[in-house]
Amino acid sequence: MRIAILATNPDLYSNKRLMEAGKERGHEMRFISIRNCYMDITARKPEIHYRGGEILKKFDAVIPRIRPSLSFYGNAVLRQFEMQKSYMLNGPIAIGRAQDKLRTMQLLCSKDIDIPRTGFANSPLDTKDMIKTVGGAPVVIKLLEGTQGKGVVLAETAKAAESVINAFKSLKGNVLIQEFIEESAGTDLRCFVVGDKVVAAMERRAAEGEFRANIHLGGTGHKVKITPQERKISVAAAKVVGLKVCGVDIIRSNDGPKVLEVNASPGLEGVEGATGKDIAGLMIEHIEKQVTKRK
């Protein structure tokens, strides 16, 4: 098969592993840099051009690994590949949903999947009441399109929360307000879903003095056994967002597991390191099965 990895940086661990895993399984792998693509948007013959003038031949499958800073352009290029009817390991609509934490939370709730109590408001006039509604301080405040923990803030008091929320708002940043799950003590679960299965899971532990468990913020990944319920929730979360491959972040609360978010381009390094599993290979295998099924 001809498989494209649509991404930005060929030297990233995840992208290198996917290229490698595809080649090992006998496929023609090509790294396509999002920035080098431009599009001829025409009925019946939509084309993707590559810097220098090459017109890309149709791929059997495309693996999108779009970084948040390039989501607008990346999704546009991905839609172009979709028009050419290549198999998408995650389509643009599902990726768009996952990029928006508010939309993800609403989708999860529509399927009765538990999340931490969450509020969203437009006017600063409603900030105080919103904080109260999610249970009062401390609260977690999140930029809707943040990733790698960067847009996530813990406010210890209602006053601090109000200042942070209104500061974000004055910069036109949209934030949601969330109940702080203190008992998780800086740990969460990253459940890696491929198709309709959790193929690997790790517990992430935040760095000293940090409540966010993201690997990018110094969190570490550890082997963990997840419960059948956590497994079921992860698969249901992937399904409602519409992603075939994703990383579901779950926090263990006194009230049971709660989903924090669903990541459309989950990193492979932490989870392959913690579990010793060949996740890249499993992703390629999934493509093989799906493309064969389509034919």
Ligand X SMILES: Nc1ncnc2c1ncn2[C@@H]1O[C@H](COP(=O)(O)OP(=O)(O)O)[C@@H](O)[C@H]1O
Contact set with ligand X (CB under 6 A): 116, 140, 142, 146-152, 178-181, 184, 188, 211-214, 249, 251, 260-261
Tokens of 128: 């105080």
For Mg ion, the closer CB: 62 or 236: 236
For Mg ion, the closer CB: 1 or 102: 102
Indicate which of Mg ion, ligand X, none lies near residue 95 (CB less than 5 to 8 Å, by partner kind). none
For ligand X, the closer CB: 35 or 132: 132
Q: How far is CA 75 from the centre of its chain?
A: 14
Q: Which stretch, 54-62, 78-86, 199-207, 242-250, contacts Mg ion (CB under 5 A)?
A: 242-250
- Tell the smallest beta-carbon distance from residue 157 to Mg ion (Å): 25
| Partners of 258 in the β-ladder | 251
- Tell the smallest beta-carbon distance from residue 198 to Mg ion (Å): 16
- Tell the smallest beta-carbon distance from residue 279 to ligand X (Å): 19
For Mg ion, the closer CB: 249 or 272: 249
Distances in whole angstroms, Cα of residue 199 to Cα of each of 5, 71, 139, 159, 258: 21, 26, 32, 43, 19
217: number of Cβ within 10 Å = 16
Query: Which residue has tokens 């989950």?
Result: 266
**Binding of residue 188 to Mg ion (CB under 5 A):** no
- Tell the smallest beta-carbon distance from residue 266 to ligand X (Å): 10
Distances in whole angstroms, Cα of residue 151 to Cα of each of 59, 96, 144, 269: 35, 18, 8, 22
For ligand X, the closer CB: 149 or 257: 149
Half-sphere exposure for 255 (CA within 13 Å, toward CB): 11
Nearest by Cα to 192 from 116, 268, 95: 268
Cα dihedral angle (103, 9, 82, 260), rounded to 10 degrees?
A: -20
Element (H, E) at 247: strand 245-253
- Tell the smallest beta-carbon distance from residue 135 to Mg ion (Å): 21
Indicate which of ligand X, Mg ion, none lies near residue 188 (CB less than 5 to 8 Å, by partner kind). ligand X
- Tell the smallest beta-carbon distance from residue 189 to Mg ion (Å): 11
Tokens of 196: 């309709």
3-state secondary structure of 22: helix
Indicate which of ligand X, Mg ion, none lies near residue 184 (CB less than 5 to 8 Å, by partner kind). ligand X
- The two beta strands, 139-143 and 175-179, are antiparallel
Indicate which of Mg ion, ligand X, none lies near residue 268 (CB less than 5 to 8 Å, by partner kind). none
**Binding of residue 249 to Mg ion (CB under 5 A):** yes
- Tell the smallest beta-carbon distance from residue 7 to Mg ion (Å): 19
What 8-state DSSP symbol labels residue 264? Answer: S
Using the Cα atoms of residue 152, residue 157, residue 158 and residue 164 in order, give the sign of their dihedral. Answer: negative
Indicate which of ligand X, Mg ion, none lies near residue 180 (CB less than 5 to 8 Å, by partner kind). ligand X
For ligand X, the closer CB: 116 or 257: 116
Q: Which residue is nearest to Mg ion (CB)?
A: 249
Q: Which residues bind Mg ion (CB under 5 A)?
A: 249
